[in-house]
């Protein structure tokens, strides 16, 4: 089944609102095997909407419209739909009673304008909106099903999950799709491509691979399509294993895994505790670690040693070492990690020192130079990195590289 | 000038990535008076791209394409563009040298696949990408300008701001638009609306006001359109002053100001220094402060006292106070702020303790309960907040509220 998503709203075109509705609907439809081929974002203009409906008619089997269903003047989707279908708007009793009960619940009076919410194009199937007052509408014309949903994200999500998806699954024979994401850290897109080029060239029919890079990590998505779910799943997983075997040390997780959570789970399983000593990251490492709910089970705390003196006073970094090697050095990173381990009595510690830029006050070192040390009571490992990107990017890459070093140490 | 934005990428259709690029470009084009009429999000498929280019040809004066410029197999925008324009891909020396210097800078070897980055459709104008390896391309055909930009947000933003916008302004006669953003913290959208309703009702012809809320802050954008730039600017600034006078204490800056930078500038002007004591924020406050380039002039460092014991051992919080009031209390926040001031010898300190959720281990307090204390050698102020939102949202609101408390203290 092919689909188009039509997002209606001036606010989307002028960049005032990010179109998260389209990505939600795209994801939900993809999961049930509907092939979303286009997202069209258009203005609240009757002619634009009519043109878009015509354009999609018989080209896609399913057209999902969002937005323009509110009670105010700029909400014209409903009147435009009735015009396109050549029918009148009629009041729907069930919707009216839903609207009334909503206002009753919030102890507000129904305004005349709200009665308009109960009007729907004659002959449409109403998708009852139990979390708002604007109903969804299902209409069919020739080879295309048109479904109109409200633009309020919460209401759109409710109607998509509870009404749209079940109806599509019931009414249409949908194909089987299965995706698996491999999450990697510490290796660039082109290096991965080089290492898995044989697997990629030999991908079987019906299986595709996509590279989804973001700062400090690359996600590889392997997708299969076919008739039988188990067959598709098996075929995809064979490729997943092949790819993983080529880049094993860089794979930190699958699908929706978060690196900080993966590391946290390893710490829990080892009954370990963690502390951090942060310089260039300024707290970003602690923030990432504590973004995991339940981090208090293993994360004790840390020192943000932004100023050189704090490294010396709080982390027992030796002034001579700073003098001899500068604060951006392997020697200082190692002393910071050891100092943190002792101060907090944790079983593991991570320390990072480097230059995030854009200005450098350690003249001998380049912006993006970072030393990360990971320590436990037995030993300390330290690695040097040369990260690209802006200040924020260098910090982000440092955080992910640091967590990945600890992950490898824990494994 | 009319424009279409064409976002290319399967990941956008299947909902794996939210299309933030389209909203950024939509905003930037709108600000210079370009009328964005449609956003078309399509798959990485040659035929879909070709059809879309044809569809837009001569219908829009400007077509901005993003995505599909990477070095891997699923990146087909460049080859498709050369096909559409009927020209060959040729290696561009300036781009090749940019690619090489990028790899040299990061001390990495140029992979064979990276040489492809230097290929561009013959005759195109290259928009040099100084923050990445994929160049932007400007091509014209009949009545339409086509501009292809990379999909990596940072590179797309760089090329939009530094290359695309200036070239459009130089080449085309665009209408006069002037916008001024007022940035507020600590007051909700509807409260602002209530306080400035008289100004809003009396806005002169040609001037509009938009509320742009995000977590922990609301941006008010006042936009004017007209013929003469100075007239429009003056008319907008009169309204800006009127609005500001109604909500003065909540305004922390204008346009692209960042709260952390505003606070940093105040600290510099007062020759003050700062330290932090973070509990629920886990490093997020330090991260925000150090996101400002030059923060080392005033930020000394901090303690992430995630575990209760660290509050006691590192920040001199009294065990009795914890026992009597729990760690989420005004008393503990105040002691943390004082402890930080003493430990780091800073002139100011900020401390935050609270419950970010989703689980609470301090049974008497609700998720979202946060105490923030700001101290200097003379006194400590402390405020209680009850923030809404998820774990990440509570942390974000805490960071902004804390910085705003310090801002008000510094003023």
Residue of B33, B35, B300, B304 for testing the chain A interface, max A β-carbons within 10 Å: B304
pLDDT of A231 higher than 90 = yes
A119, pLDDT greater than 90: yes
CB contact under 8 A, A15 and B37: no
Tokens of B260: 């952390």
Q: How far apart are CA B33 and CA B30, in angstroms?
A: 5
Domain A176-254, CATH number (from 3.40.228.10, 2.60.120.380, 3.30.420.40, 3.30.70.2860): 3.30.70.2860
Residues contacting B56, CB < 8 A, separation 6+ = B4, B6, B40, B63, B144
The arithmetic mean of pLDDT across residues A218-222, rounded, is 92
Q: Which residues of A touch B7 (CB under 8 A)?
A: 39
- The third-level CATH classification (topology) of the domain covering A259-410 is Maf protein (3.90.950)
Residue carrying the six token digits 């006194």: B379
Q: For position A360, what pLDDT does the model report?
A: 60
**ipTM over 0.85 threshold:** no
Say yes or no to pLDDT of A361 above 90: no
Q: What is the 3-state secondary structure (H, E, C) of B93-117?
A: HHHHHHHHHHHHHCCCCCCHHHHHH
Residues A264-288 have pLDDT tens digits of 999 999 999 999 999 999 999 999 9
User: Which residues in chain B touch residue A284, judged by CB atoms under 8 angstroms apart?
Assistant: 283, 286-287, 290
A39: chain B residues, CB-CB within 8 Å: 7, 12-13, 19, 39-41
DSSP E strand stretches across B84-175: 89-91, 119-121, 125-127, 136-141, 144-149
- Tell me, what's the pLDDT at B361? 58
Q: Mean pLDDT, chain A, as a whole number? A: 93
Among the partner residues A212, A286, A387, nearest to B304 by beta-carbon distance: A286
Domain ranges for chain B: 2-171, 176-254, 259-410
A394 → chain B, closest CA residue:
B291
Write out the CATH class of domain B2-171.
alpha beta
What pLDDT score does A362 carry?
55
Question: Does residue A373 have a pLDDT over 80?
Answer: yes
Chain A residues lying within 8 Å of B106, measured CB to CB:
368, 386-388
Write out chain B's pLDDT in tens, 411 residues.
Answer: 999 999 999 989 998 889 999 999 999 999 899 999 999 999 999 999 999 999 999 999 999 999 998 877 778 999 999 999 999 999 999 999 999 988 888 778 888 878 888 999 999 999 999 999 999 999 999 999 999 999 999 999 999 999 999 999 999 989 888 889 999 998 888 788 889 999 999 999 999 898 877 778 898 989 998 888 899 999 999 999 999 999 998 999 998 899 999 999 999 999 999 999 999 999 999 999 999 999 999 999 999 999 999 999 999 999 999 999 999 999 999 999 999 999 999 999 999 999 988 876 555 678 899 999 999 999 999 999 998 778 998 999 999 999 999 999 998
The pLDDT assigned to B360 comes to 60
Question: Is A19 close to B19, i.e. CB distance below 8 A?
Answer: yes
Cβ proximity of B148 and B69 under 8 Å: yes
DSSP string, B223-239: EEEES-HHHHHHHHHHH
According to the model, what pLDDT value does residue A218 have?
93
Give the residue on A whose Cα is nearest the Cα of B153. A214
CB-CB under 8 Å, A294 with B278 = no
B350 conformational bin, left if phi > 0, alpha if psi -120 to 50, beta if neither? beta
Cβ pairs bridging A and B (under 8 Å): 270
Q: Do A287 and B282 touch (CB under 8 A)?
A: yes
Is residue A91 scored above 70 in pLDDT?
Answer: yes
Using an 8 Å CB-CB cutoff, list chain B residues near A212: 11, 16-17
Whether pLDDT at A211 is above 70: yes
What is the C-alpha to C-alpha distance for residues B249 and A186, in angstroms, rounded to an integer? 46
- What's residue B405's pLDDT? 96
Tokens of B133: 């390896």
Percentage with pLDDT > 70 across chain A: 98
Contact A144/A62 with Cβ under 8 angstroms?
Answer: yes
C-alpha closest to that of B219 among B182, B259, B270:
B182
pLDDT at A365: 75
Average pLDDT over residues A337-360: 93
Chain B interface disruption, residue of A1, A54, A153, A290, most B CBs within 10 A:
A290
Residue B18 tokens read as 């939210």
Q: Which two tokens stand for residue B345?
A: 């010898």
Instruction: Evaluate if residue A72 carries a pLDDT over 80.
Output: no
């Amino acid at each position: 089944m092919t689909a188009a998503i039509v997002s209606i709203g001036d606010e989307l075109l002028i960049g005032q609102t990010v179109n998260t509705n389209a990505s939600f609907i795209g994801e939900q439809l993809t999961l049930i095997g509907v092939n979303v081929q286009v997202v069209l974002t258009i203005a609240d203009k009757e002619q634009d909407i009519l043109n878009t409906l015509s354009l999609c008619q018989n080209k896609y089997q399913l057209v999902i419209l969002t937005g323009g269903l509110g009670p105010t003047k700029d909400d014209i989707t409903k009147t435009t739909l009735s015009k396109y279908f050549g029918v009148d708007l009629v009041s729907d009793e069930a919707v009216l009673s839903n609207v009334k009960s909503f206002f009753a619940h919030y102890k507000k009076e129904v305004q005349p304008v709200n009665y308009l919410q109960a009007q729907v194009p004659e002959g449409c199937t109403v998708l009852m909106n139990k979390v708002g007052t604007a109903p969804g509408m299902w209409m069919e014309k020739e080879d295309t099903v048109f479904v109109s949903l409200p633009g309020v994200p919460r209401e759109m999500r409710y109607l998509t999950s509870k009404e749209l998806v079940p109806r599509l699954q019931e009414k249409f024979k949908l194909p089987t799709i299965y995706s698996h994401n491999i999450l990697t850290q510490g290796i660039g897109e082109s290096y991965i491509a080089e290492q898995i080029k044989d697997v990629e060239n030999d991908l079987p029919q019906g299986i595709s691979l996509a590279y989804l890079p973001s700062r400090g990590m690359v996600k590889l998505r392997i997708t299969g399509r076919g008739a039988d779910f188990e067959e598709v799943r098996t075929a995809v997983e064979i490729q997943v294993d092949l790819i993983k075997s080529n880049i094993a040390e860089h794979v930190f997780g699958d699908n929706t895994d978060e690196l900080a959570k993966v590391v946290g789970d390893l710490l829990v399983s080892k009954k370990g505790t963690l502390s951090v000593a942060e310089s260039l990251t300024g707290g970003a490492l602690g923030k990432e670690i504590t973004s995991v709910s339940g981090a208090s089970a293993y994360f004790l705390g840390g020192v943000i040693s932004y100023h050189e003196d704090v490294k010396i006073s709080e982390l027992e970094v030796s002034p001579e070492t700073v003098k001899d090697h500068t604060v951006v050095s392997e020697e200082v990173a190692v002393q910071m990690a050891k100092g943190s381990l002792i101060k907090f009595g944790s079983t593991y510690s991570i320390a990072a020192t480097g230059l995030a830029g854009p200005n450098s006050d350690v003249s001998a070192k380049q912006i993006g130079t970072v030393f990360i040390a990971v320590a436990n009571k037995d030993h300390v490992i330290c690695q040097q990195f040369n990260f690209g990107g802006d200040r924020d990017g260098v910090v982000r890459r440092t955080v992910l590289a640091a967590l990945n070093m600890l992950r490898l140490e824990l494994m």
